[in-house]
Amino acid sequence: MIATVALAAGIFVKFSDQQPIEADTGPINVSFKLADLDGVERDFSEWDGQHRILNFWATWCAPCRREIPLLKAFQDQHGADGFQVIGIAVEFPEPVIAYSKSAEFNYPILVGEQDAMAVAESSGISFVGLPFTMIVARDGNLISAHMGEIYQEYLDDVADVLSQLDRGEIDNAAASKALSLF
């Protein structure tokens, strides 16, 4: 998979089966507004103070659909600890709404069509494939991003590293570096 990446100092993007890429542009604070499944515009700041896992996906993407049960389990397990999964569908609302009825999401789903890709790009990331996941710390700064399908091991590492960040054992740069190794 090929992607163009421009991230903050100490922020890494990990591509499945590839080495992490680092850039040096300074901290990136993530901010956006997208509609939910009911067409209500939701502001990313609604989840301020929580660690956020932004998962970009589409109903037609098989790896994306495989991730959903893992993300639902992660939300169940870690939601009370201040973690919030947010699904960002990169397609039209109708198929997402239809799919959501059987998927029974326990986390918010935002629908962005092309605007969803602009969310990542406004954070300095251009990508050419799905699924794609961004990790945002409680302070709103982008910690890491992952291109390709995520697995349970990665989510376990995210929970562990961000918990270390909460305890003050590491800072954002160290969290980013730790997540780039997985």
DSSP 110-170: EE-THHHHHHHHHTTEE--SS-EEEEE-TTSBEEEEEES---HHHHHHHHHHHHHHHTTSS
pTM here is: 0.83
Nearest CA among 113, 4, 7, 137 for reference residue 56: 113
Domains and CATH numbers, the chain: 4-21+47-180 (3.40.30.10)
Backbone phi and psi for residue 101, each to the nearest 5 degrees, phi listed first: -65, -40
Tokens of 48: 């301020």
Strand 12-15, strand 132-136: pairing: unpaired
Give the torsion sign (CA, 111, 99, 107, 53): negative
| pLDDT tier for residue 24 given thresholds of 50, 70 and 90 | very low
Residue showing tokens 């989840």: 47
pLDDT (tens digit per residue) in 27-78? 577 778 899 999 999 999 999 999 999 999 999 999 999 999 999 999 999 9
Q: Which pLDDT belongs to residue 117?
A: 72
Tokens of 46: 């609604």
| pLDDT tier for residue 96 given thresholds of 50, 70 and 90 | very high
| pLDDT tier for residue 151 given thresholds of 50, 70 and 90 | very high
Task: For residues 81 and 163, give the distance between their C-alpha atoms in angstroms, rounded to a whole number.
Answer: 9
Q: Fill in the amino acid letter for 14.
A: K
- Average pLDDT across the chain, whole number: 83
Q: Which pLDDT belongs to residue 127?
A: 63
Residue showing tokens 């109903």: 59
